[in-house]
Amino acid sequence: MRKFISVMLVAAMAVTALTGCGSNSSSSSKKDADKYYIGGIGPTTGATAIYGTAVKNGAQIAVDEINAAGGINGKQIEYRFEDDQNDAEKAVNAYNTLKDWGMQMLVGTTTTAPCIAVAGKTASDNVFQITPSASSPDVLSSGNGNVFQVCFTDPNQGVASAQYIAENKLPTKIGIIYDSSDVYSSGIEEKFEAEAKTQGLNIVSKAAFTADSKTDFGTQLQKAKDAGADLLFLPIYYQEASIILKQADTMGYKPKFFGVDGMDGILTVENFDTKLAEDVMLLTPFAADAKNKSVQNFVKTYKEKYKDTPNQFAADSYDAVYALKAAIEESKATTDMSASDMCDALKGAMTKIKMQGLTGGEDGLTWNESGEVTKSPKAVIIKNGAYKAM
Amino acid sequence: MKKSNMKSINKQTKSMLITYAMVIAVFIIVEIMISTGMMSSLMQGLLVPLCIYSIVAIGLNLCVGYLGELSLGHAGFMCVGAFSSAVFSKCMMTSGMNETLRFILALLIGTVVAAVFGWLIGIPVLRLRGDYLAIVTLAFGEIIKNVINVMYLGRDSKGFHFSIKDSASLNMQADGKMIIDGAKGIVGTPNQSTFVVGIIIILISLFVSFNLVNSRTGRAIMAIRDNRIAAESVGINITKYKLMAFTISAAIAGAGGVLYAHNLSTLTALPANFGYNMSIMILVFVVLGGMGSFRGSIIAAVVLTMLPEVLRGLADYRMLIYAIVLIIMMLFNWAPKAIEWREKHSLKRMFGKKEKAEEVQ
């Protein structure tokens, strides 16, 4: 009997293994040499799905636009996006799937920890990677020069937040609530605290939560309230932030709230009363209501196609695809290059290009050799359920 | 009497040899496929994780299938093994030590540290009866994960610095480097886990497990599982044998953790990889593969780890299909009707009938 089961299972295994190989051979034979193959990775399922979906859609719009306008150097782009569930191991699997598909450049990954793992792989395979939103400096160091970022790094966000609060004379008695089990959140918190000291801001309370206990923030809020914090700095993702806003409201605690780019998306949380987010400030390089013409076009297309207002992640990935286009044009990389040759060509070109993009602000986007982007952070405030530039 | 005894031993040895042969055959097939370029990068990337989960499933099977105790904290032992070995590798990276030697030492350290934790937990808990081990191991896994998330360990020219507050309170010199950076975990562990190493560790764990199970000690362990009072009455030292089996089980999980740590360039203790979900995942491998069957554990671990990746083409539906497959496998393995049907239609029975018929003739 047991033998029978094992025979069955071995058969099942063999079948799955064969399908794995089968799809590989068919995809490589399908490959059209006259196209640029761009892959994308991000979570489209799970708790952080909103970011992956935004990155996927943002890049799709850019690809469609470029293809409609005649492609890059007259060549069309093929684009494919894979899910990683915000898990490092799954991200590497997604990366390998894309490699089988014939990917030459990677737009991704969306979140930080998976990105570090994938950067390790792109470094050893020599594949060019541009991440729209993985913001830790570790991404760059483990990518060994192959990885470029479109978003600010975490230290920059922490420092910029502290400077912004100090310069704009916001309340200086500050409470912090952050996710100590999250790379992104604790990275920003650390730098914010260091910079706050030099800016003369007074951090009166600091409370952490972890990924296991992110449904109730009563204790953390009470701590901030008891310490008399007038401004609550929330370097966290939007789901938790929405709960915090709700609970603070029920407690009758009304400080000012200040978030970073992870807060972007708070207005789209289901069953969340957007009135609670009134006057929340956040630091994001992209505001959907900007007067800029390219931004307005992007927002219009996005709304038509996906029935949703694009957030900063969508804008970053849109810019990432255009940065790739600029770099390909600069380096004259051709479609028949291998991923490795393409990487060497693009790496050199990235530091030479300068583009406006959606998130570039007044000075545009430029990159240095380590892969870090230079752009100026913008603070927005939520008024009547929409972002307003400050 | 003598004959049937002989037969049962042969059966055990046979099953053991089939398992070894299966692992080696898979290894040879995979190596041939890689060298002829027939294997996709996805499958190549999956090889090491498949080995890791097989190893941990073997370890847990020892605990669940033979000791008869439910452990819900094997991801915790993996975590301990992973972090201790990664810290060692990271510290020794700049020392110019031979890379192979460093990896072997890291493996030993990870295994031993996991074993020590298993032993420490076992001392009080295995003396108790009932489901206490399940409860305590569940708690252990969660505690370990949270402790690692607040640990900061750095090293500079003056030596090691440790804190559980934040990285700024380490007060390191300018040349200081973080080793464990709280929730950011360990970044930049050397990638030394390969398929060959994974297969070798699977074979070693199988060797250890089979030898333990088929020895006098193993019979004592199974006697405790089947009837504690009877075992006690013939003079078996219950705590000693339980502790031994549990420690070995934890050590094997630790070895799996070492491979995990050296597979990716980032190591973080998240609920997804070292939380109780993972512990239960490993338990699912063991239960679906058949408790007490190491071969079954390996097969279940391989099939269930591969399934969601192979089904990538189905986009978001794959998680749905994965769940359905789990339910079907469970029904197939354990539902009384399914067992009845299987017995009616099993190949063995058909062959057995034939043999009998021949005998009659």
Residues 271-330 of B with CB under 8 A from A: 271-273, 275, 290, 293, 295-296, 299-300, 302-303, 306-307, 309-310, 312-313, 315-316, 319
Give the residue among A100, A133, A101 at the shortest CA–CA distance from A114. Answer: A133
Query: Do B245 and B97 share a domain, yes or no?
Result: yes
**Contact call for A97 and B346, based on CB within 8 A:** no
pLDDT tens-digit map of A105-144: 999 889 888 898 899 889 888 999 999 988 888 888 887 7
In a domain, B324, yes or no: yes
| Joined tokens for residue A264 | 């972007």
A369 — pLDDT class (breaks 50, 70, 90)? confident
Report the percent of chain A where pLDDT is more than 90. Answer: 18
| Cα-based distances in Å from B247 to B71, B112, B115, B140, B235 | 12, 10, 5, 14, 22
**Contact call for A24 and B40, based on CB within 8 A:** yes
> What pLDDT was estimated at residue B27?
94
Cross-sheet strand order for the sheet of A76-83: A76-83, A35-42, A105-107, A128-131, A147-149
Query: Do B161 and B262 share a domain, yes or no?
Result: yes
Question: What is the C-alpha to C-alpha distance for residues A44 and A66, in angstroms, rounded to an integer?
Answer: 24
Place of tokens 């009938």: B353
Give the residue among A249, A295, A297, A288 at the shortest CA–CA distance from A265. Answer: A288
> What pLDDT was estimated at residue A370?
85
Rounded to the nearest angstrom, the gap between the alpha carbon of residue A248 and the centroid of all alpha carbons in its chain is 27
Give the residue among B299, B306, B329, B343 at the shortest CA–CA distance from A4. Answer: B343
Place of tokens 């000791």: B67
What is the least distance, in Å, from the CA of B223 to any CA of chain A?
22
Cα angle B356, B360, B361 (rounded to 5 degrees) comes to 120
Taking residues A335-354, report their average pLDDT.
87
Query: Do B291 and B361 share a domain, yes or no?
Result: no
Under DSSP, the state recorded for B65 is I
Beta bridge partners of B186: B267
Rounded to the nearest angstrom, the gap between the alpha carbon of residue B40 and the centroid of all alpha carbons in its chain is 26
Place of tokens 């990518």: A143
Query: Do B194 and B333 share a domain, yes or no?
Result: no
Place of tokens 């074993």: B115
- DSSP secondary structure, B181-206, as one string: EGGG-EE-------HHHHHHHHHHHH
By C-alpha distance, the chain B residue nearest A114 is B266
In a domain, B35, yes or no: no
In a domain, B33, yes or no: no
Place of tokens 């307003």: A388
Are the CB atoms for B233 and B88 separated by under 8 Å?
no
Place of tokens 């896994």: B141
* CB-based contacts of A57, cutoff 8 Å, min separation 6: A302, A305, A306, A310, A314
Residue to substitute from B151, B264, B309, interface A, most A β-carbons within 10 A: B264
CA atoms within 13 A on the CB side of A260: 31
Are the CB atoms for A309 and A303 separated by under 8 Å?
yes
* CB-based contacts of A198, cutoff 8 Å, min separation 6: none
By C-alpha distance, the chain B residue nearest A102 is B41
- For strands A231-234 and A256-259, give the pairing: parallel
Residue A315, SS3 per DSSP: helix
Residues of B within 8 A of A212 (CB-CB) are 142, 146, 271, 275
**Contact call for B270 and A4, based on CB within 8 A:** no
Under DSSP, the state recorded for B353 is H
Q: Does A330 touch chain B (CB under 8 A)?
A: no
Mean pLDDT over the full length of chain A:
83
What totals of helices (H) and strands (E) does chain A contain, helices first? 12, 15
pLDDT tens-digit map of A134-172: 888 888 888 778 899 888 888 888 888 888 888 887 888
> What pLDDT was estimated at residue A194?
86
In a domain, B1, yes or no: no
What Rg value do the Cα atoms of chain A yield, rounded? 22
Higher pLDDT, A23 or B354: B354
| Joined tokens for residue A247 | 């609970």
- The CB density around residue B5, as the number of other CB atoms within 10 Å, is 9
Beta bridge partners of A380: A282, A389
In a domain, B225, yes or no: yes
For residue B61, give the H/E element and its range: helix B41-61
Taking residues A324-350, report their average pLDDT.
88
Are the CB atoms for B154 and B170 separated by under 8 Å?
yes
B328 — pLDDT class (breaks 50, 70, 90)? confident
Query: Do B214 and B328 share a domain, yes or no?
Result: no
- DSSP secondary structure, A276-298, as one string: GGTT-EEE-S--TT-S-HHHHHH
Query: Do B139 and B206 share a domain, yes or no?
Result: yes
Query: Do B199 and B282 share a domain, yes or no?
Result: yes
pLDDT tens-digit map of B130-188: 778 888 889 999 999 888 888 888 888 888 888 887 777 777 777 778 888 877 888 88
Q: Is the pLDDT of residue B360 over 50?
A: no
B295 → closest Cβ in A6, A24, A120: A6
Residues of A within 8 A of B309 (CB-CB) are 20, 93, 97
Question: What is the C-alpha to C-alpha distance for residues A292 and A56, in angstroms, rounded to an integer?
Answer: 23
Q: Is the pLDDT of residue A246 over 50?
A: yes
In a domain, B222, yes or no: yes
Give the residue among A275, A285, A284 at the shortest CA–CA distance from A254. Answer: A275
Query: Do B132 and B240 share a domain, yes or no?
Result: yes
Report the percent of chain B where pLDDT is more than 90. Answer: 45
Query: Do B253 and B159 share a domain, yes or no?
Result: yes
Query: Do B185 and B217 share a domain, yes or no?
Result: yes
Under DSSP, the state recorded for B131 is S
Are the CB atoms for A99 and A122 separated by under 8 Å?
no
Q: Does A327 touch chain B (CB under 8 A)?
A: no
Give the residue among A54, A42, A41, A374 at the shortest CA–CA distance from A238. Answer: A54
In a domain, B10, yes or no: no
Give the residue among B36, B42, B61, B1 at the shortest CA–CA distance from B294. Answer: B61
Measured in Å, how far apart are chain B's first and last C-alpha atoms?
A: 25
What is the least distance, in Å, from the CA of A46 to any CA of chain B?
11
Q: Among the three residues B281, B304, B327, which one is the final residue of a domain in this structure?
A: B304
Are the CB atoms for A248 and A221 separated by under 8 Å?
yes
> What pLDDT was estimated at residue B354?
53
Residue B95, SS3 per DSSP: helix
Residues of A within 8 A of B348 (CB-CB) are 1, 3-4
B233 — pLDDT class (breaks 50, 70, 90)? very high
B187 → closest Cβ in A83, A116, A194: A116
What Rg value do the Cα atoms of chain B yield, rounded? 22
Q: Does A198 touch chain B (CB under 8 A)?
A: no
What value of ipTM does the predicted structure carry? Answer: 0.81
Q: Among the three residues B259, B282, B304, which one is the final residue of a domain in this structure?
A: B304
In a domain, B22, yes or no: no
**Lowest mean pLDDT segment, chosen from A28-32, A325-329, B301-305, B327-331:** A28-32
Question: What is the C-alpha to C-alpha distance for residues A102 and A138, in angstroms, rounded to an integer?
Answer: 27
| Joined tokens for residue B51 | 């080995």
Instruction: Tally the domains of chain B.
Output: 2
> What pLDDT was estimated at residue A18?
42
Question: What is the C-alpha to C-alpha distance for residues A302 and A296, in angstroms, rounded to an integer?
Answer: 10
B45 → closest Cβ in A93, A142, A179: A93
Return the amino acid letter for A133. Answer: S
> Which domain covers residue B340, as residue numbers?
315-361
Query: Do B240 and B356 share a domain, yes or no?
Result: no
By C-alpha distance, the chain A residue nearest B341 is A1
* CB-based contacts of A153, cutoff 8 Å, min separation 6: A135, A136, A137, A140, A372
Give the residue among B84, B199, B189, B197 at the shortest CA–CA distance from B144. Answer: B84
Query: Do B81 and B227 share a domain, yes or no?
Result: yes
B293 → closest Cβ in A2, A88, A124: A2
Q: Which of A134-138, A318-322, B4-8 has the highest mean pLDDT?
A: A318-322
Q: Is the pLDDT of residue A8 over 70?
A: no
Are the CB atoms for B332 and A45 separated by under 8 Å?
no
- For strands A379-383 and A281-283, give the pairing: antiparallel
Residues of B within 8 A of A89 (CB-CB) are 49, 264, 273
Return the amino acid letter for A162. Answer: A
Strands (E), chain B: 152-156, 159-163, 177-181, 186-187, 266-267
- The CB density around residue A105, as the number of other CB atoms within 10 Å, is 25
